[in-house]
Amino acid sequence: MNVDGLQDLISCASIKIYEYGIDKRTEMKCTDRVFPFYVMSYLSEGSAVLRIDGQEYRLEPRSVVIIPANVRHNHYKVTDEQSVFLWWHFDYKVYDTVDMLKLFRLPIVHNIKDSRRFESLFNNRNNAMGEQNSVKNSFHRLACILEVLGNLLEEIGENGDESRFADVPNAFKEMLETIVSGDVNQLTLSFFAEKYNMHPTYISNRFSEYFGIPPIKLYRKIQMERAGKLLESGEKTVGEVAEMFGFSDVSVFSRLFKSVKGVSPSNLSKRDVTQSGVMFKNL
């Protein structure tokens, strides 16, 4: 995956924070935990143990734990001294679907080299999360969150080092880039099969294995997300948007849109509503 392709994916990705905090524990016994999101836990002081898939990790100060979603694990202490954990639960996905971190080869446990910088960034993030809601503070919170994540990826491997990337064949990374970029209209499995000389079923199965969703389903989801933004902007009618995305039959587009977005496109189209005489200004 080249740098431009990765930047395109990052520009379409969003990060979501579910919980965060700083815990001081003299006792801890969390067994058989499974979360539907990533867990990041940094040990600032003390010690702890992590067990995943029968493997045990002895954690010391400066250890950061990165546990993917839906992975069963045990996290506990075996001593009575105080341990301090900086932690957060989050997702980082492209169009709320593809896990961006699957593109990187992230270790379960990593020892942070520059602990002072990492803890400073984490504390800045915590302070930002507690700020009052405003446009300025929303940007500040997002910047702090991405800075922590960027610092972590930088710690794991040098910038531009391909060894950081997960073991996903380049062909499938390129497919993902093509789908997200929107450069090719009306993508099909046959298009990818011909380009990469692979069977369509093989492509669909392997893509799902790597990214958690079949390629055409992801393509349709992204199409409908983009269509929804156009409709909400009021720039085009439902028919015009359907045509833009290669649908000659508006009813087919409408059914697909509703199945993906849960709402009819006509309910989002400001232009259709205005033209129908339902929307009035200066009342």
| Per-residue pLDDT tens over the stretch 78-106 | 999 999 999 999 999 888 888 888 888 78
- Domain boundary pick from 163, 178, 200: 163
CATH code of 141's domain: 2.60.120.280
Say how many C-beta atoms besides its own lie within 10 A of residue 258's C-beta.
15
pLDDT of residue 155: 80
| H helix runs in the chain, sequence order | 3-11, 115-129, 135-156, 170-181, 189-196, 200-211, 215-233, 238-244, 250-261, 265-268, 270-275
- Count of structural domains within the chain: 2
pLDDT of residue 283: 31
Q: Is the pLDDT of residue 41 over 90?
A: yes
Q: List, for residues 244-272, the tens digit of each pLDDT value.
A: 888 888 888 889 888 888 888 888 765 55
147 and 251: one domain? no
In a domain, 281, yes or no: no
* Residue 165 and residue 1 in contact, taking contact as beta carbons nearer than 8 Å: yes
Q: Is the pLDDT of residue 282 over 80?
A: no
Confidence of residue 180 (pLDDT cuts 50, 70, 90): confident
- Domain boundary pick from 114, 138, 163: 163
Structure tokens at 257: 């849109």
* Residue 119 and residue 86 in contact, taking contact as beta carbons nearer than 8 Å: yes
In a domain, 72, yes or no: yes
* Residue 90 and residue 38 in contact, taking contact as beta carbons nearer than 8 Å: yes
149 and 226: one domain? no
Minimal CA–CA distance to 89: which of 136, 129, 116, 133? 129
In a domain, 210, yes or no: yes
* Residue 243 and residue 280 in contact, taking contact as beta carbons nearer than 8 Å: no
* Identity at 47, one-letter amino acid code: S
pLDDT of residue 203: 96
Q: List, for residues 117-168, the tens digit of each pLDDT value.
A: 888 888 887 777 766 666 677 777 778 888 888 888 888 765 444 445 667 8
pLDDT of residue 4: 60
175 and 148: one domain? no
Which range has the top average pLDDT, 10-14, 22-26, 186-190?
A: 22-26
Q: List, for residues 203-237, the tens digit of each pLDDT value.
A: 999 999 988 899 999 999 988 888 888 888 887 88
pLDDT of residue 50: 96
Structure tokens at 46: 């003390």
Q: What angle do CA 203, 103, 194 make, to 5 degrees?
A: 25
* Residue 233 and residue 189 in contact, taking contact as beta carbons nearer than 8 Å: no
pLDDT of residue 2: 56
In a domain, 280, yes or no: no
CA–CA distance, 48 with 132 (Å, rounded to integer): 34
CA–CA distance, 38 with 188 (Å, rounded to integer): 32
56 and 87: one domain? yes
Residue 141 Cα distances to 37, 79, 124, 181, angstroms: 19, 35, 9, 27
Confidence of residue 277 (pLDDT cuts 50, 70, 90): very low
Range of the domain at 126: 3-163
Cα–chain-centroid distance for residue 139? 18
Confidence of residue 1 (pLDDT cuts 50, 70, 90): low
N- to C-terminal Cα separation, the chain: 54
155 and 106: one domain? yes
Structure tokens at 217: 């389903």
- Domain boundary pick from 163, 188, 218: 163
CA–CA distance, 150 with 197 (Å, rounded to integer): 36
Residue 94 Cα distances to 6, 51, 53, 182, 241, angstroms: 11, 29, 28, 13, 22
112 and 251: one domain? no
113 and 52: one domain? yes
In a domain, 118, yes or no: yes
pLDDT of residue 131: 65
The mean pLDDT value of the chain amounts to 84
pLDDT of residue 107: 87
